[in-house]
Structure 1
Amino acid sequence: MRDAVAMRALEGLDPGALPLQALVDAGEPVVLRGIVRDWGLVQAGLRGPHEAMAYLRRFDAGLPVPYSFGDPGIEGRPFYTADFTALNIEVRRGVLSEVLEAISDHLASPSPPTYYVASLPVARALPGFTEHNDAGLAGQGIEAPASIWIGNRVTASCHYDTPQNLACCTVGRRRFTLFPPEQIDNLYPGPMDPTPGGQAVSVVDFDRPDFDLHPRFRDALASAQSAELEPGDAIFIPSLWWHHVRSLEPFNVLVNYWWRGSPSMLASPLPALQHAMWALRDLPAREKQAWAAIFNYYVFGPAERAGQHLPEAARGELAPFDTTQARRMRARLLALLNR
C-alpha cells in the first residue's frame, strides 16, 4: 500500500491549554507531540511494559471488564468471518489484572493471541488514575470522560466515530491513517451489524489491499493522512473522519476523550440515519429525489432558511431547538415509532 501524506503535527504546546476549539473549528486531524509525556502511565511505560502493567494494577478496581479474544490466526485484527455474518473474535469477561497477565505471558511471542480491552471507562475501572493522567478537558468546559484501550498488537479496522476525539498514546507506539468523511464510498464499509467495535468498518485489508475487489480504495489513498505516535503524543481526530489504528508494540495503552460540540439536548444523528434507511432508502428513485430536496430544505441547507419567511412565534420546530422543543420532538417521535 502506498504511503499516505504525513499528518500535520504541532510541538511545544502547553499541556494545560490545549487549543481544542481551534482544532474543532479547523476540522482537520493533527498530532500533538509530547502533550501528555508527563503522565504517570507514560513515564512507567517508558521504563518497560511490566512497569506500565504494575502502574495500571495500582488503580484496578477489580471489576469484571469485557475484552476481545482472538486466536493467533487473526493476526491481531478483530474483524469478520469470511462470510461477514459473524466476528472472528470472542467477547469475554475477566478482571483487568488477569487480562494484563495474559498479555504479559505472550510479550515475546511473534504470533500471540489477541487480547483487547476497548473503550473501558476509566472512572469506573481505574479510580484515582486521572489524578496524574488527565488531559484537562474539564478546564475548558468540555465534558468528556476518559476511556482506556489496552491490548497487544491490535489493529482497529478503519471506521468513524460521531464525536470529536482526542486520543493519547500512553504506552507503546501507534500508527494512525485517516481519511476525510467524503471518502466513505471508497472505503467499502462493511455490515452495520455485527461490527468489531460498534461502528461499521472498512472491509479493505490495509496490509494486503485487493484493488481488483476494491478498486476505489486507490482514490481513498489519495486523500489519506498518516502519523506514528510515540508515548506521550496525542492526536485530534475530527468528528466523522475515518481512522485506521495499528498498535505496534507487544503491549499498548491509549486513553481517549470523546465529546460532541453540539448542545446535549440535540439527538444523536445515527438513529436518524438508521430511520432514514428504513423509511427512504428502498423507495422508487423519483420519490427519493423528491425527499432529497425536502431534506436539503429542512435539514442540510442553512438552518434558518425553512422558517425565515414566517413570524417568529409561528416557527415552532423550524426555529433553533431549545430544551423544551427538544423534549416535545422526542415525545412526538416516540409516539410515532410506538404506533
Structure 2
Amino acid sequence: MAEADASIFAAMPAVIEREAGSPAALDALLRGARQPFVIRGLVADWPLVRAGLRSAGDARAYLLARARNVPFAVSIGAPGEDGRIFYDAAMAVNFRMARAPLADIFADMAAHEGKADAPTLYLASIDVPSHFDGVQDENPLDLGPREPLVSLWIGTPTRIAAHNDFPDNLACCVAGRRRFTLFAPEAFRGLYLGPIDNTPAGRAVSMVDFHSPDFAAHPRFADALAQAQVAELAPGDALFIPSMWWHHVEGLAPFNILLNYWWRDTPRFLGQPQDALNHAILAIRDLPDADKVIWRDMFEHYVFANPPETKDHIPAGARGVLDPLTPDTAGRLRAYLLRTLSR
C-alpha cells in the first residue's frame, strides 16, 4: 500500500497513553471517558496475539482451527485502489461483496501476500461468537459490567475512510499494525462527509483522501487536521475511541487483525440516533423556513433541553413517553413509529 505524505501524520499529536494493570483500573479509565487513549500491551498475552507475532500464517491457522462451518462475508477490492475501501468515480462502492469459507479467503490472502498487484481482501465486523468457537474465551478481556459486541476485522493492507460510531469502542490490535487518525465529534464539517444513504459500511464517511488531500476542494480539512490526533498500534496495543469520535483507520502490514469491543452506556431498548436524523431529513428538512423554526424550538424543548415543564403539569401516570423511557414505553413508541412510517 502506498504510504501517505508523512508530514500529515508527523504534525499530529499522539493520542495520550494510559496504563491499566488490572480490570478495576481499566474499568476506571473507561467509565465516562470522553477522550481517546492508548493502552500499550493491554492484550499482549493473548494466544492470538502471540500467534500473529510468530507469523501471519500462524495467526490464520489459529483462527481456522476455531472457525465454524459458516460462510464469511468478505469485501474484495480491485488491484490499484491502494487498499482504499471507498467509492468509485460514479459514487458506487469500489469493492464487491462475497461469501466463502474462511479457509478459502485465507488461502487467497496467503497467495497474494506481498504482491504489488494484489486485490484488497477485507473481513469487516465479523461477529466472534457466531463465527468462532473458543476465540473469545481463550483471548479474554474483563470489561466489568459492560456487555459488548465482540468483532474481528481481518485484512490485507486497507484504508477505511474517516467515520464515526455511536457505541464506545475499544480496539485491540492483534496482528500487523494499525494507524488511527482521530477527530473530535464537532470536527465533522471539516471532514466533508459523503451521503448518509449510500455508504461503504453503514456510516457516512469523509470524502477526503487522507493520503492525498485536495485542500482546494476541501479547504476546511486543514482546520480538522489541526485538531487531529494519531495512534499507531502494534500487536497487543489497544485504543479507546469514545462514542461519535471520527476515525480514519489503516491496516499497514501485509496481514492485519483487529478485535474490537462495542458497548453503549445507555439501555439497549433506546433507539438509534441516526434513525432519528434520517427521519428528520424525511419529515422536517425540506419544510418552509418558518416551519423549521417552529420545529427547531419543539426539538429543543422536548429533546435537547427537556426541562421539567415538559411534563410537570400532566398528572403522574399519564405522561407517557414524556417520562423517562422504560422497556415497555420504548417498545410502544417503536411500534407506533412503525405503524406511522408504514402508511
| TM-score w.r.t. length of structure 2 | 0.93
Match of 1:277 in 2: 281
Output one character per residue of 1:194-250: Cα deviation in whole Å (capped at 9) or x when no partner: 321221110000010000000010111121111101100111111111100011100
**Alignment map for 1:216-235 (pairs within 5 Å):** 216-235=220-239
**In the alignment, which of 176, 197, 203 is matched to residue 199 of structure 1?**
203
The alignment partner of 2:253 has SS state of coil
Residues 211 and 131 (structure 1), Cα distance of their counterparts in 2 relative to 1, 3 Å cut: same
Gaps of 5+ in 1: none
The partner residue of 1:44 within 30, 39, 51 is: 51
Q: Tell me by how many angstroms 1:286 deviates.
A: 2.1
Q: Which amino acid aligns with 1:242?
A: W
Q: Which amino acid aligns with 1:23?
A: L
Which residue of the partner structure matches residue 101 of structure 1?
107
1:166 aligns with 2:174: no
For the 8 Å contact 1:5–1:224, the answer to whether it is kept is yes
**1:127 equivalenced with 2:144 (yes/no):** no
Report the TM-score when normalising by structure 1: 0.94
Q: Which runs of 5+ in 2 are unaligned?
A: 1-7
Please state how far the C-alpha of 1:29 moved relative to its aligned partner: 0.8
2:260 to 256, 259, 276: 256
Number of aligned residue pairs: give it: 335
Which aligned pairs between 1:1-339 and structure 2 lie closer than 5 A? 1=8, 3-11=11-19, 13-14=20-21, 16-17=23-24, 19-20=26-27, 22-84=29-91, 86-137=92-143, 140-302=144-306, 304=308, 306-339=310-343
Q: Between the two proteins, what is the percent identity of the paired residues?
A: 46
- For the 8 Å contact 1:15–1:135, the answer to whether it is kept is no
Question: 3-state DSSP class of the match of 2:84?
Answer: coil
Q: Is the 8 A contact 1:190 1:200 kept in 2?
A: yes
Cα deviations by residue, 1:127-179 (Å, 9 ceiling, x for unpaired)? 11112112223xx1211131101001011110011111111100011000111
Residue 304 of structure 1 deviates from its aligned partner by: 4.2
* Local SS of the residue matching 1:275: helix
Read off the aligned partner of 2:227 and give its amino acid letter: S
Looking at structure 2, the residues matched to 305 and 187 of structure 1 have their Cα atoms a distance apart, in angstroms, of: 38
User: For residues 289 and 58 of structure 1, what CA distance do their matches in structure 2 show?
Assistant: 59
d(CA) in 2 for partners of 1:304 and 1:172? 52
Q: Secondary structure at the match of 1:253?
A: strand
Distance in structure 1 (CA, Å) of the matches to 2:312 and 2:177: 52
Displacement after TM superposition at 1:15 (Å) = 5.0
8 Å contact from structure 1 (residues 117, 150) kept in 2: yes
Letter of the structure 2 residue corresponding to residue 204 of structure 1? V
Q: Which runs of 4+ in 1 moved over 6 A?
A: none
Q: Distance in 1 between matches of 2:278 and 2:197?
A: 12
Q: Is the 8 A contact 1:31 1:236 kept in 2?
A: yes
Cα pair distance change 1:309/1:28, threshold 3 Å: farther
CA distance in 1, matches of 2:192, 2:133: 40
Answer yes or no: is the 8 Å Cα contact 1:60–1:125 preserved in 2: yes
The CA RMSD measured in Å over matched residues stands at 1.6
**Alpha-carbon separation, structure 2, partners of 1:14 and 1:253:** 24
- Report how far residue 311 of structure 1 moved: 4.3
Task: Work out whether residues 15 and 35 of structure 1, in 8 Å CA contact, stay in contact via their aligned partners in 2.
Answer: no
Deviation of 1:305 (Å): 5.0
Instruction: Read off the aligned partner of 1:150 and give its amino acid letter.
Output: I
Q: Matched residues in 2 for 1:200 and 1:21: separation? A: 31
Measure, in 2, the Cα distance between the counterparts of 1:99 and 1:229.
25
1:324 deviates by 2.0
- 1:10-40 CA-to-partner distances (Å, cap 9, x unmatched) read 13x1253353464351311111111100101
Question: More deviation in 302-311 or 104-113?
Answer: 302-311
